[in-house]
Amino acid sequence: MAGNGLPSLGRVKLTDLVPSEGVPSDSYKLSVSTLSQSFAQYSAAIIQFPASDGALLRSGLDSAHLYFQQKAAYPPEELIHTNDSRGWCKTSGYYADPQLWQETYDYRPGLTPTDPINGMEFPPGGLPDIFSLLGKAARDVLDAISYYLNLRSSAFSEIRDNVPLRSREISSSVLSVCCHARPSFPGAQHNNLTTPDDGQLIMVPDHEHQVDKSLISVVKSDKAGFHVRDFQGRWILLDGDLGPQEAVVYPGLALYQATAGYVNPALHRTETNNMSGNMYGKCSLVFKLMPKSMTSLSCSEMRAAGHGVEAQFQLPIPVDDFMQRSHPTDQLFNRNTFPSFSYPLAHEDQLNAGTGSMKPLMRRRKNNTRCKPLPPSKRLRLEAQRVLKERVQEIADKKGIKLRFCNLKECENHIHALDSPCANIRMEIGWPHGVPFVHPHDLPNKAKIGFLEAYEPGWTATHDMDLSLTEPAQTSQQYCN
């Protein structure tokens, strides 16, 4: 995939991701495609703010240096972070985690005071403005992902905070000002390795990787050290060459759940190398766009857009329950990520040198002659998805019908009843008799065959495919992975 996709981490200008009324521009479609492909390959991307916003980010990091430098070496016991997920939407102010050699100041609008604490301690400066800047960027990225997945505009608005917050509302999203391995902080002093040149090397162990439970996270660091695992299992350094107006953006677990696993969350870790002589450690501004605590994560938008939803994502999950659950990372990366769409750009043969953008993956795959043949069941599934997009969706659009598929088990009874919830839709679009009205991705193989034969006459002969699928079969036709 890497050979056919982006050669490096995707870079997009934030101004190109801002949606506008009417037909989307070529720059918008190209930026959305680059962002989504970068998420699929590297689990992250780089967004470029206007130059004027770079000054605000720089001042925020400078303020973080001063704030943590004046903190006591040994924080009070009540400020030691316990990693209690029950209070995930109530964190505010300073706390420390010696195990991760990390200190954090959380700014949460509606809860965190902006005035000096007890008239003595000043919080980091500029946090309301930085929160607004990074929050707007995260929402634009989320809307871009919605566009790429063919979801309706503002598909996730019901689970996001109001903008602006209403009276007495507390923000679910949070801006964390973080400091890793401050020399005077006790957590870092007990984990140093001495290098041959008498320098110090401080590294987070490999098992200390993390996954955010956010929808979208945005990170701006003052030094290199933020790594994300790509789709091949390699750890990629993301902030090694960031410009002053650039930041890293990556998806979290909440987006993975809300998109039925189509958008994999980023597995990340922070390494701090050669910190000898550095009095500040590594500081970062981390914004997490979080779902509201009183809502539920549902895949209804994905179903409405015609995407298949696997069994593990069928039932809505209350956000508060989701945040308190453990999510083993070895169970997350077990399916294909973004589908590949090709946008008809006016100049699609030209690469965008500023963003590293390339043609969509699907067009590249057509020219790859070394692809292995797919098993019959997977070829059948791909054909069913193609016919859904090219035939069924066109019929539904012409008739003004919104496709909302049923659950497979429930619809086995619907197809034998005249007054079932999906009866009218099935009749209007000519859905084949006896085939449950569910997304073709979820149909049994024999039902997929009936679906294909109904909407594409002559499909069997045209594709030269063995339709039994219950016995091993050899076919002459090859499809690319």
Exposed/middle/buried for 294, CB within 10 Å: 0-12, 13-18, 19+? exposed
For residue 481, the model assigns a pLDDT of: 36
d(CA 348, CA 359): 7
Q: Which of 12, 47, 6, 32 is nearest to 341 (CA)?
A: 32
Looking at every residue in the chain, the average pLDDT score rounds to 79
Number of neighbouring beta carbons within 10 Å of residue 257: 24
For residue 205, the model assigns a pLDDT of: 46
For residue 349, the model assigns a pLDDT of: 42
pTM reported for the whole predicted model: 0.69
Range with lowest mean pLDDT among 295-304, 412-421, 431-440: 412-421
Range with lowest mean pLDDT among 64-78, 116-130, 182-196, 379-393: 182-196
Q: What is the dihedral of CA 3, 142, 237, 175, to 10 degrees?
A: 180
Contact 106, 125 (CB under 8 A): no
pLDDT above 60 for 352: no
pLDDT above 60 for 354: no
For residue 74, the model assigns a pLDDT of: 63
pLDDT above 90 for 434: no
For residue 373, the model assigns a pLDDT of: 52
d(CA 142, CA 161): 13
Q: What is the mean pLDDT of residues 59-64?
A: 96
> Cβ neighbours of residue 164 under 8 Å, at least 6 residues apart?
none
Residue 378 in tokens: 């997977």
d(CA 23, CA 25): 6
Distinct helix (H) and strand (E) counts, the chain = 14, 15
Contact 97, 75 (CB under 8 A): no
In CATH, the architecture of 11-331 is: Sandwich (2.60)
Structure confidence by residue, pLDDT tens digits, 259-310: 999 999 999 998 876 655 567 789 999 999 999 989 999 999 999 998 988 8
pLDDT above 80 for 330: no
| Local confidence band at 143 (pLDDT 50, 70, 90 cut-offs) | very high
Q: Where are the alpha helices (DSSP H) in 51-193?
A: 51-69, 127-148, 186-189
Secondary structure (3-state) at 31: helix
For residue 476, the model assigns a pLDDT of: 35
Contacts 24+ apart (CB under 8 A), 327-331: 327/211, 327/213, 327/253, 329/209, 329/211, 329/267
pLDDT above 70 for 393: yes
For residue 389, the model assigns a pLDDT of: 79
For residue 432, the model assigns a pLDDT of: 87
d(CA 53, CA 401): 44
For residue 345, the model assigns a pLDDT of: 52
pLDDT above 70 for 188: no
Place of tokens 């909440």: 254
Alpha-carbon torsion (408, 413, 416, 420), positive or negative = negative
For residue 66, the model assigns a pLDDT of: 92
Where is pLDDT greater, at 328 or 466?
A: 328
Contact 175, 286 (CB under 8 A): yes
For residue 460, the model assigns a pLDDT of: 61
pLDDT above 50 for 451: yes
Q: What is the mean pLDDT of residues 173-191?
A: 76
Contact 338, 42 (CB under 8 A): no
Q: What is the mean pLDDT of residues 81-108?
A: 80
d(CA 229, CA 330): 13
Residue 132 in tokens: 């607004």
> Cβ neighbours of residue 172 under 8 Å, at least 6 residues apart?
89, 161, 290, 291, 292, 293
Q: What is the mean pLDDT of residues 29-52?
A: 96
Where is pLDDT greater, at 416 or 450?
A: 450
pLDDT above 50 for 370: no
Q: Which of 276, 108, 46 is nearest to 181 (CA)?
A: 276
Range with lowest mean pLDDT among 75-84, 142-151, 281-290: 75-84
Domain boundaries, the chain: 11-331, 369-463
Where is pLDDT greater, at 229 or 116?
A: 229
Find how far residue 212's CA is from the centre of its chain. 10
Q: Where are the alpha helices (DSSP H) in 70-162?
A: 127-148
For residue 442, the model assigns a pLDDT of: 82
Distances (CA, A) of 199 to 240, 276, 279: 20, 6, 14
pLDDT above 60 for 333: no
